[in-house]
Structure 1
Amino acid sequence: MTALALTALAVVLSMLAPVPLSRFRPLEEVPGAAVALWQCVALAAALAAVGAALAAPEEILRGLHGGRVPLGPALFVGAGLALVLAGVIVVRLAVVTARLAWNTRRRRRRQLEMLDLLEGAARERSRLHVLAARLPLAYCIPGRPGRVVLTEATLDLLTPAETDAVVAHELAHLRARHDLVVEAFTALHIAFPQFVRSRLALESVNRLLEMLADDAATRHRDPAPLYSALTKLAATAEAGEEVGARLGRLRRRLSGRTPRRTRLRLLTVGTYTLGIAVLAVPTVAIVTPWLQAALGALPW
């Protein structure tokens, strides 16, 4: 049954596939391709859920009208369960995506309004805002235009070179619109029922996006200032694990043990190929035969 197969595929991609992918550390050597692979997995899971929601009622109707689908309790139970689960995912995905987009943009507007209110107490240089605060913080507010926000405690903690490296990291997030990628994965994570979802996808994508920003910030400059800045920020109690998680990547870059170009090319090609396969194989193996059967059952 197509509906059952697509539902099972959606569950596998959302709950089981993230486990080996998150543990395959060579993907961290090609973070751009790795993010694309995670996007393919997420899109394939969403499409499988939508396909299951469409296939379940069609297969039931085809069985009732004497099609080649075997009519019996198994058909109704299997297709019914697939329809309920897939329907919940599809409806929740639409609602969650709209609500998340609205709340995120409303929160950003409030943050920008607060920056404007603090204009007199802040020193602004281009897209950079410096706030009078004792807590070392560095973050960006995506949008048009995006803003990079530092606190005076951060400036006191870091050297000028370290500050420039941190600002370059945040600007890399803004230029690449990494916030949209995180938003999409967050919506998909929330949309899938709790018993068939994993946080590994969201966590892995966040980590890879930080690596992409690190790479962009150090592409044409010495990575040492960024590494020392992150080390100092990670030492503060409020810095959290997010900053500390990037140190391993930067430490490897500082050591000079960069992967060979041939290895990077093979990893990149292999990762993109796997992503394409995740999207294409279910279409060829499951969806295409179902469409042919469904179209063949129509009274032309």
Structure 2
Amino acid sequence: MTNVNVHSDFAQHGEGDAHHPHQHEYKQSHLLGFALLLTGGFAAVEALAGWYSGSLALISDAGHMLTDSVALALAYFAQKMAARPASARLSFGYTRVEVVAAFVNGLTMAAIVLWIMGKAIWRLWHPAPVDGETVTWVATVGLLINLGVAYLLHCDQTSMNTRAALVHVMGDLLGSVAAIVAGIVIATTGWMPIDPLLSIFVALLIVRSTWRVLKESTWHLMDAVPHGLDYTKIGERLRSLKGIASVHDLHVWDMSPNQPTLMAHVILEADVQWPKLLDQARAMLHEQFGIEHITLQPEWQQCSVGTTHKVH
């Protein structure tokens, strides 16, 4: 009995298939790892400072940074998983893990926004004393940390996973700015409502980015046609190639972020040289639509008499 190496024999990328940028993924994982180290480390420092000063605002912000750390850890784990090769069980590989991680991060960010809103409303009715000076200094350090982490993640936004993590960090960055302003106002005027009011403002700013991440990751999980590609136009261009009578069972989706994939059945006219036409179709799809991972199944016209085929 012959053993078959599934990855080397069946799961290899052939000509016209997409290739994985391993060096780029290596850079992404290192950026996420360093960002995780910075964020997690400062979350612990901020929690200790909040406990020492009795500042609920700092403890809350530390909790927010802790969720950032979890989000970054999830993104880091997903990045590592996505780099693993395909297997007999997962023939497409692990690239979809990044999309799942982005979706989970979007959900957690939505939950955080709701928590911030609820907590802020409660604090408006039940003011608590805050050490404004301590909040200002610690939040300033937090702002610098968040700026550094945001810069690292902003350097690479090609991955949906990284963009989702960036939403978390930007939310905490805005939270640090709000904490600084609140700390200064409280230290100079003693007006406590500024803290929950700014928290509500920050939460509203985060909503848009959170919605964008959730929407984009949901579309990916639903195998929607990638943004920027016209499904109907792709079908029409395929059908316009000389030798193709019609196209059906056309599917266009992202196998992973930024990796558009196409699969279709094409009805061929008689006496068509399929290998030559296949090369033309692949070249056209790559040049005009940026699609590299292409699977076309030929069917000859005489085998489909009486059947009307449409792009659908």
TM more than 0.5 = no
Query: What TM-score, normalized by structure 2, do the two folds share?
Result: 0.32
Give the structure with the larger strand fraction.
Answer: 2
Higher relative contact order (CA 8 A, sep 6+): 1
Higher helix share: 1
The higher radius of gyration belongs to 2
TM-score, normalised via structure 1 length: 0.33
